């Protein structure tokens, strides 16, 4: 095993985020492109069982959020489950969680950027996507407070658009909701795994633990509030869209919310919904870049990534080299590769990440305010079940990437 020797020269990040900013960053991560894009593929898998899948995904997210909140209060450092796994289970498990997060979320960043391009200017999708990554990386570079301010504006705009969608669907024709017709247990589980992609944003609050004021109190409260609000919004929108379009029509569309308002007789609202989708994707991309760069910082501090990436900017107080590195990689991917199909791959990697989080939470002591035992048990079991029920391409790709990461670890262990 490689000994954990933290870098002594790397300065601490500044604690600038309060409860409101932390909640907004979590909301910006979860109420993002997922609500505009994830409903259709989930409906294709579960059909009329979409709402059951949503509840299942939300329950697994609740278990993961509770485990993450308790761990973040004990280990309020940048890196999230990378740090928790390292401290509670050992160096390898922390490394594996960090590897899963960085690789999976880098793909998610590119997918969110491509969503921006697809909605804003389809003919120039890749150019717009790369430009969005460069712009948001620049915003993150000049300070996390400015990122939180932008996230607040984006969340407010997206919530306004979603409220308009709900109002339009409430006044339109409705189909009969049947939660069990044309569905299978496997389809529901696969849909839950795909929908989990949209719920995973609460990790962003934990990965910013070194920049949150009073983390032992703020982080658990922020995660609970953000997840609860997101569940309420997702459930309301899913019911509205499903009752307006029906499961089969919903499954076949690429822009379900825009199609729903059109079917409800409010076609004039469709362009506004598309603008909301762009803002939502930008909000998700903003928070994803924040989270990936902080985990990169933590892994660089421990020598699992190049040490030069652990630098913190003396003026802006951000891991500027890590942010630039992540931004460059994501911009290149967004400019050259279509990664919208990466939702399944990213979900697999994130579920592995939270599997490590739940096992880590199980090892907490009573003095560390461990969660009730059933929470990490059901959370870990849910992560495994949802991961293996994803499309086979995502499972195979995820296993290959995990094996590559483990192989790199073994090589480093042998050389040291």
Note the pLDDT of residue 6. Answer: 47
Residue 68: enclosing H or E segment and its boundaries? helix 50-74
Note the pLDDT of residue 260. Answer: 92
Distance CA 90, CA 81 (A): 12
- Are 402 and 96 within 8 A, CB to CB? yes
- Are 187 and 22 within 8 A, CB to CB? no
- Residue ranges of domains in the chain: 19-411
Note the pLDDT of residue 176. Answer: 66
From first to last of the 416 residues of the chain, give the pLDDT tens digit: 444 444 444 556 667 678 888 887 777 667 767 788 788 888 889 888 899 999 999 899 989 988 988 888 788 776 678 889 999 999 999 999 989 988 888 888 888 888 788 778 878 888 999 999 999 999 888 765 555 666 677 778 888 999 999 999 998 887 767 666 678 899 999 999 989 887 876 666 766 666 778 777 787 788 888 888 888 888 999 999 999 998 888 888 878 898 899 999 999 999 999 898 888 888 778 878 887 888 788 888 878 888 899 898 888 888 899 999 999 999 998 888 765 566 788 889 999 999 999 999 999 998 887 889 999 999 999 999 999 999 888 899 889 989 999 998 988 888 87
Residue 406: enclosing H or E segment and its boundaries? helix 392-415
Q: How far is CA 77 from CA 19, 120, 208, in A?
A: 16, 37, 7
According to CATH, the topology of domain 19-411 is Amino acid/polyamine transporter I (1.20.1740)
Note the pLDDT of residue 23. Answer: 83
Q: Residue 212 — φ and ψ, nearest 5°?
A: -105, 135
- Are 298 and 83 within 8 A, CB to CB? yes
């Amino acid at each position: 095993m490689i000994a954990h020797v933290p870098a002594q020269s790397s300065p601490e990040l500044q604690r600038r985020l309060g409860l409101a900013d932390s909640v907004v960053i979590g909301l910006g991560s979860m109420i993002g492109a997922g609500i505009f894009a994830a409903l259709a593929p989930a409906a294709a898998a579960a059909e009329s069982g979409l709402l059951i899948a949503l509840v299942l995904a939300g329950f697994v997210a609740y278990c993961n959020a509770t485990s993450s909140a308790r761990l973040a209060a004990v280990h309020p450092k940048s890196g999230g489950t990378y740090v928790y796994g390292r401290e509670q289970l050992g160096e390898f498990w922390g490394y594996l969680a960090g590897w899963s997060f960085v690789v999976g979320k880098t793909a998610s960043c590119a997918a969110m950027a491509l969503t921006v391009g697809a909605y804003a200017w389809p003919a120039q999708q890749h150019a717009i996507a790369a430009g969005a990554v460069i712009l948001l990386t620049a915003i993150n570079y000049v300070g996390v407070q400015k990122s939180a301010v932008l996230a607040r504006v984006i969340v407010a705009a997206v919530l306004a658009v979603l409220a308009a969608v709900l109002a339009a669907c409430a006044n339109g024709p409705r189909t009969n909701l049947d939660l069990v017709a044309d569905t299978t247990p496997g389809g529901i589980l696969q849909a839950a795994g795909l929908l989990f992609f949209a719920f995973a944003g609460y990790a962003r609050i934990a990965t910013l633990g070194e920049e949150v004021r009073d983390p032992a109190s703020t982080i658990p409260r922020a995660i609970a509030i953000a997840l609860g609000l997101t569940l309420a919004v997702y459930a309301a929108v899913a019911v509205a869209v499903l009752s307006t379009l029906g499961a089969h029509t919903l499954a076949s569309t690429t822009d379900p919310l825009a199609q729903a308002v059109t079917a409800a007789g409010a076609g004039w609202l469709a362009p506004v919904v598309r603008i909301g989708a762009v803002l939502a994707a930008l909000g998700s991309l903003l928070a994803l870049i924040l989270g990936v760069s902080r985990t990169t910082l933590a892994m660089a501090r421990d020598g699992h990534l190049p040490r030069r990436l652990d630098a913190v900017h003396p003026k802006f107080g951000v891991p500027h080299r890590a942010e630039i590195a992540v931004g460059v990689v994501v911009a290149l991917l967004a400019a050259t590769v279509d990664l919208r199909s990466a939702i399944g791959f990213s979900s697999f990697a994130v579920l592995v990440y939270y599997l490590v989080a739940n096992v880590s939470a199980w090892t907490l002591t009573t003095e560390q305010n461990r969660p009730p035992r059933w929470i990490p048990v059901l959370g870990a079991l849910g992560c495994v079940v949802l991961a293996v029920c994803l499309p086979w391409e995502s499972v195979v790709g995820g296993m290959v990437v995990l094996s590559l990461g483990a192989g790199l670890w073994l090589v480093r262990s042998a050389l040291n």
